[in-house]
């Protein structure tokens, strides 16, 4: 099991069954850019990623982003699961800082999954986050980071 993570314009989904069980949820609209990060995954060039629960948790802890995406040191995603949080300038600053620090700490690392290395995998996620968080802030009226 894992998350579906999407960064982009907030979108409301309505589940109308014409009864008391009707509901709605907040997510992010799907995007695909020819110049977006791509590492040989089914979600290449898109604002969506499918990490396992443990892969995302470990990534956040090891890159210093745990408090950006989790409540009080981990365990529960901010915004709930499924859930959604706003993408804000502070998130962009933290992601960019984490990317720069990670590259400095691992100067020979390449953003690729080909080596099946945790270091390269973390770098892939940082590059993806940096691209889409920055894009969302510049291009979306209501930028969000959604998980399902």
pLDDT tens for 58-102 read 999 999 999 999 987 667 899 989 999 999 999 999 999 999 999
pTM exceeding the 0.85 threshold for the entire prediction: yes
Are 26 and 11 spatial neighbours (Cβ–Cβ below 8 Å)?
A: yes
CA dihedral over 10, 35, 115, 42, signed as positive or negative: positive
pLDDT tens for 68-78 read 999 876 678 99
DSSP, collapsed to helix, strand or coil, labels residue 89 as helix
The structural domains of the chain, with segments of one domain joined by +, span 30-76+87-142
Q: Cα–Cα distance between 76 and 70 in angstroms, integer?
A: 6
Q: What does the pLDDT average to over 100-126?
A: 90
Residues 6 or more apart in contact with residue 33 via CB below 8 angstroms: 45, 135
**28 confidence band (pLDDT: 50, 70, 90):** very high
């Amino acid at each position: 099991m894992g998350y579906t993570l999407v960064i982009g314009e907030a979108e409301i989904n309505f589940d109308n069954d014409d009864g008391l069980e009707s509901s709605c949820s907040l997510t992010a609209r799907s995007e695909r850019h020819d110049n977006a990060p791509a590492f040989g995954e089914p979600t290449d060039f898109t604002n969506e990623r499918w990490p396992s629960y443990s892969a995302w948790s470990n990534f956040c802890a090891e890159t210093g982003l745990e408090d950006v995406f989790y409540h009080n040191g981990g365990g529960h995603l901010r915004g709930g699961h499924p859930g959604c949080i706003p993408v804000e300038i502070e998130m962009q600053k933290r992601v960019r800082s984490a990317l720069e620090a990670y590259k400095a700490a691992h100067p020979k690392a390449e953003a690729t999954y080909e080596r099946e290395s945790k270091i390269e995998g973390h770098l892939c996620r940082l590059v993806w986050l940096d691209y889409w968080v920055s894009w969302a802030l510049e291009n979306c009226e209501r930028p969000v980071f959604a998980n399902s």
